[in-house]
Chain A
């Protein structure tokens, strides 16, 4: 191409525009080709997280609602012991996502609560980018799989879930209280207090969203619970009774 034409401002604009258009077309094509699979993978990951926090559940009903406090839309799940199309399914709990700022990333946690929204059935950290070796250990699974096991017949076993997350199973919601710089009875990840606290705060955030955000009362949301006709205050009282943490609550 002639050099004077090449240096003409219109040529500069034209080439740059052409490059951008071609790039845009290419990206559009790739996006179309992959979007379905990306969605499927996301749904799969969501489903897996739900099954971690409610291992025995069979049906998950997605509920989209507006947060009563800030008006933002959020999603929670009503969890049943049988598939959704089964007639005599009973509500066994809820699941919801919560988030909190960790040390170097936003930590996203999916939590499961029982039908009274009083006991945590499990938590699963679904997104974090914490420091490898410290905060990232919140997803570390204890394993005794050895390299040579690949060559011999004996294969080691890996734990089912990360040790850090397992400690939240069957915990009473109200036992998650602050005590000084950290939370009471929470085994801290060594060298990663901020991450540890962020996971707890994300869990509390999820609980808050589920309870206050959806205007939760055993009746309003949990229409399927067996013990109907209980007031909000009543369920609060039951929860206090079930508190296993030692000593009095502190703020």
Chain B
């Protein structure tokens, strides 16, 4: 890999954020973001599994025959998930109770299998660790953002503490429709910004082209909404 290692870490934050850009792992994203504490627990658990499985799979990438790679990945991932489950049961029983079925379901979280298949099975251990960490952090901030919006609007609390006395929360934000609404609006906003940026870039490039070709720089060439004026 010619890319610097630091990029393997930072790409998960925004450029290929697993939730907002790759749209992976949406089931836990929608389901556990009813409270901020659930989101934190889920993010920590998923990041641990992600880093752990990335490391092991990257280490074993030369031994595992391509034909049985998926079962091998699943076994590795399931092992880490079970470890998380046992440790959570032992040291954080309330969290285990409130996350419920979504802890074992980390096994089928497509972020983890996706990173194993697309990255860890082809890259070095160091790069895979950073990739897992970065993707985990990206997953975490997406969950946190969503959970903050949903808990504040839907329950009037943050981490269980009330914010404004007398605020009547909109229950729908806690219910499944609220998850879809808030995630949909966030995705829309992110994509709108991305498209705007791309159009600007495209516009700027065209101006430069024209400038170099005609030799004149004209203020008349407007790029307000990305289209070239005459």
Contacts and interface: CB of A to CB of B under 8 A. Distances in A.
A1 B62 contact: yes
B71 interface: yes
Contacts of A31: 86
Interface of A: 1, 6-7, 11-12, 15-16, 19-20, 23, 26-27, 30-31, 34, 37-38, 41, 45, 105, 127, 129, 131-134, 143-147, 149-150, 156, 191
A27 B97 contact: no
Given A23-B78, A145-B162, A30 B86 contact: yes
Contacts of A149: 161
Interface string B189-225: 0000000000000000000000000000000000000
Q: Which of A1, A19, A34 is most buried by chain B, counting CB atoms within 10 A of its CB?
A: A19
Interface string B62-105: 11111110011001101100110011011101000100110000
A41 B175 contact: no
Q: Which of A7, A41, A132, A149 is most buried by chain B, counting CB atoms within 10 A of its CB?
A: A132
Nearest to B155: A133
A157 to B, nearest CB: 12
B34 interface: yes
A26 B174 contact: no
B67 A7 contact: yes
A142 to B, nearest CB: 11
A145 B79 CA distance: 40
Contact of A146 (B67, B83, B162): B162
B163 to A, nearest CB: 6
